[in-house]
Structure 1
């Protein structure tokens, strides 16, 4: 097993220099697990921020040979759980297959005061071939 930490140049950079966006855990059979740090995005409202987060997640996954269809677990942090349906509508635009395992939490605030949503995911990348 080999672990690589990464901030891919092909994806939007982290909001802070104190963390890596992706931890890639490679297994002997060539498969890998990708652990993405919590992602936030700029935007005027929850839908725009959610869309921006999923676009960043998509770019991070692509940088590691994965796709949104490879997501197996998602954790979502919302500052207002009553807006879950609004977030869910955007999520369904990006996660169109069988839904991954999921947890959603309401939190009083996030890393940046203007952030309304933060999402972290785990993706399983099959071995090439």
Structure 2
């Protein structure tokens, strides 16, 4: 078993002292544990409504997964932190379109996220290989 911490060039650098992904190699496969992603642009700013932020987050998640030879089809679990569960329908519309296989999921409401304007943060666990 080998652990690799990585910040792929396919996404902007992390906003703090953390890795975007922890890759645990297990022989011919790997487990990918992604850090929480918010809808930050290349300048670290967050804009848009729940749908726009959801789209941006999954664009970032896709970039991290693809950098490690994985895809949305190989996502095992999604953990979502939302500042308002009333936004769930907009988020759900984006998720259902991108994840027709409905991975395991956890969604919770939180009082706030670390970046002002962020409406949600999403963590993903996936398989590669």
TM-score of the superposed pair, with normalisation by structure 2: 0.91
| 1:36 alignment partner in structure 2 | 34
Offset at residue 13 of structure 1 (A) = 2.4
Does 2:55 align with 1:57?
no
Query: How far has the Cα of 1:111 moved from its partner?
Result: 1.3
**Tell me, what secondary structure is at the counterpart of 2:65?**
helix
Could you say which residue in structure 1 is the equivalent of 2:22?
23
Instruction: Flag structure 1 segments of 5+ consecutive residues without an equivalent.
Output: none
The CA deviation at 1:125 is 1.7
1:92 corresponds to 2:92:
no
Paired with 2:63 and 2:98, the residues of 1 have a C-alpha distance of 12
Structure 2 match to 1:11? 11
- Let me know the Cα RMSD of the aligned residues: 1.0
Consecutive aligned runs of 4 or more in structure 1 exceeding 6 Å deviation: none
| Alpha-carbon distance in 1 for matches of 2:121, 2:51 | 12
1:118 maps onto 2:117 in alignment: no
Aligned to 2:85: 81
What is the TM-score with the length of structure 1 in the denominator? 0.91
**Pairwise CA distance, 1:86:** 1.0
1:11/1:63 contact within 8 Å kept: no
- Per the alignment, residue 42 of structure 2 pairs with none
